[in-house]
Amino acid sequence: MTFAGSLAVLACTRILWNDNDLAVVSGRTMDWPESTEPILTILPRGLQRDGGLVAGHSIVAENPAKWTSKYGSLATTVYGIGTADGLNEKGLAGHMLYLRKTDFGPRDASKPGIHAGLWLQYLLDNAADVKECLALMDDVQIVTVEAHGREATVHLALEDAGGDSAILEFVDGKLVVHHGAQYQVMTNDPTYDEQLALLKQQDFSHPSSEMPLPGNVNATDRFQRAAYYRALLPKPQNERETIAGILAIARNVSVPFGAPYRDFGIYNTEYRTAINLTNLRYFFELTTSPNVIWVDLKKFSLAAGSPAMALDPDNLDLSGDVSAKFQPLEKAPF
């Protein structure tokens, strides 16, 4: 099983709005050549994890990481084997995006191993903020995984309710971290340091009506366009305006559903999310559905022993607050 093809360019984007004086909010697009089978899943505290298991099979033969979830979370799962996007009860959120240049390096069995599909979930389970996430990375090694014939060459964007941000990438086998509240936009290739250098060529964070704006759907153009529109967001008056602003940018950098971009290795946007980290609300928009739905994490019991709960968002009858629509699972995923 996998998350990303070796020749793919893909088109995921993450946007963070952490300086609006009302709430810390973030958003992302998920772009993929097929359905990732997203399921919105509530995961309570106290769940036993094995970082080497994929669908009951161990892919980290020696020294897999094992832990018990310290915090409850809401995850958008991918193929049922990991977490692509999510939020925990402390206001830590994260997003898994594709990066072709990812190289996790050779396996070092002296460190507990976690397959890439559980990388984000490991952090949501164990960290209350971005700084704690970074400290946790010293203790484990991320190991590649495959799903549906594609390898999980991914990087992570993290943010917390305090407005902190970090981009985590593995390049030439080494973890590269960009840590700071100023890292607000992220796409795919090239690596993040190269993206930042490209952004400096023309400062899209200080837009004007005369500034030419790139309009393609490749990662570089989307990065610049998202930075441009993010800088134009007006101060919001309420949560509704913050989420509308984030989703407006996410839609602007989306790849239209059904557009024939596959020959370029760029895939349609499957879904978009927006997260209010301050108030623990998670918004989800499937691109083949006309409805935006949201989940209030504070409405769930996250105590150890509470059931994991799930909701399939691919349902045209769903709209608005769907917190009451979740159903308990017999067994928590992964």
Three-class DSSP category at 90: coil
pTM score? 0.94
CA dihedral for 190, 195, 201, 205, sign (positive or negative): positive
First to last CA, the chain: 14
Q: How far apart are CA 150 and CA 252, in angstroms?
A: 27
Q: What is the pLDDT along the chain (334 residues), one digit of tens a residue?
A: 333 333 344 569 999 999 999 999 999 999 888 889 999 999 999 999 999 998 888 889 899 999 999 999 999 999 999 999 999 999 999 999 999 899 999 999 999 999 999 999 999 999 999 999 999 999 999 999 877 667 778 999 999 999 999 999 999 999 999 999 999 999 988 899 998 887 777 777 778 888 888 888 888 889 999 999 999 999 999 999 999 999 999 999 998 877 666 666 677 899 999 999 999 999 999 999 989 999 999 999 999 999 999 999 999 999 999 999 999 999 999 9
CA distances from 37 to 34, 79, 85 (A): 9, 5, 13
Tokens of 28: 């992302």
Q: Which domains does the chain have, with CATH numbers?
A: 13-189+238-328 (3.60.60.10)
The shares of helix, strand and coil residues in the chain, as percent rounded to the nearest 5, are 20, 30, 50
Task: Return the active site residues.
Answer: 12
